[in-house]
Amino acid sequence: MLGFSCCQKHFSGAAPISTETLEFFLGLNITLYEAYGMSETSGPHVMSGPYNHRFQCCGKAVPGCQMKLVNKDQDGNGEICFWGRTVFMGYLNMEDKTREAFDEDGWLHSGDIGKIDSEGFLQVTGRIKELIITAGGENIPPIPIEDAVKRHLPIVSNAVLIGDQRKFLSMLLTLKSTVDSDTLEPLDTLTQEAIQFCHDVGSKATTISAIVGQKDKAVYRAIQEGINKFNSEAVSNAQRIQKWTLLSKDFSIAGGEMGPTMKIKRHAILDKYNKDVEAFYSPEH
């Protein structure tokens, strides 16, 4: 089983893990336990385990360590802060950066946004630098919304929420496509999962160009239905997606939309697809 037959516990860390990956391993009867921390906390500060586990949560603070949220919004999202003997003393010969990292009570500010439930389980929901602040002053972490849209629409590979200093939210979407095995460049051909989605909604499309170029009515209608379903579950009107568009190619490292760890580069995406973004908010659209 993927070489894990002698492994007793399986952990993930260093970067967010997708719901699809968690569910894939669950299908193999393998539970992935998440760990969360920073180099500045000497490794994991929050961990889950067999008796301390909740799906899509990082777990609870390990014994001897404390965490809290500051500057929480109405949904309970706030900046994650750490305290404990495992937290470092500061950056060598970098006093200004050290002062920025700690508050006056000695808590280390992570720069990450999260929620802590009534039982103490932490869910990381984004980065402060990624936080969307709408024109109406609503603070919206994009990752939970993007993940929810992808769950509703299995044909979608990437979803990028737009709305910073805007009157409403919009979204850029890419479709799941095959990848060139030599260059790792995304191809025009859809994956089998995406083709099955098209078949299920009444489309014969097998390529991205067939969908985007011809504005495939069946696929576009199905995607709008998925967006509508998300909107019906949104916690507030401000978190509803008003407009969206399909891009003609999936994201990649070579395309500049992703970094070496396969995280999306939001600013690069906004620059590259600026015309699509501005079209959302033009009076003619």
Q: What is the average pLDDT score of the chain?
A: 90
Mean pLDDT within 72-81: 86
Which domains are seen in the chain, by residue range? Answer: 10-127 (2.30.38.10), 132-280 (3.30.300.30)
Please, what is the Cα angle at 281 between 145 and 190, to 5 degrees? 55
pLDDT of residue 285: 60
Which one is predicted more confidently, 217 or 3?
A: 217
pLDDT of residue 66: 93
Sheet with 169-175: list strands edge to edge: 156-162, 169-175, 241-246
The DSSP annotation for 95-161 comes to HHHHHHHB-TTSPEEEEEEEEE-TT--EEEEEEGGG-EE-TT--EE-HHHHHHHHHHH-TTEEEEEE
Banded model confidence at residue 157, pLDDT cuts 50, 70, 90: very high
Mean pLDDT within 103-111: 91
Check pLDDT > 70 for residue 1: no
Strand partners, 139: 133
pLDDT of residue 89: 92
Residue 52's SS3 state is strand
Question: In angstroms, how far is CA 10 from the centroid of its own chain?
Answer: 22
Contact at 8 Å (CB) between 220 and 238?
no
pLDDT of residue 2: 61
Mean pLDDT within 126-154: 88
Banded model confidence at residue 22, pLDDT cuts 50, 70, 90: confident
Check pLDDT > 80 for residue 271: yes
Banded model confidence at residue 138, pLDDT cuts 50, 70, 90: confident
pLDDT of residue 231: 96
If we measure between CA atoms, which residue out of 279, 229, 16 comes closest to residue 142?
16
Mean pLDDT within 47-65: 88
Mean pLDDT within 16-39: 86
Q: Which residues of 117-140 are buried (b: 16+ CB within 10 A; e: fewer)?
A: eeeebbbbbbbbebbbebeeebbb
Quote the tokens at residue 92: 């060598």
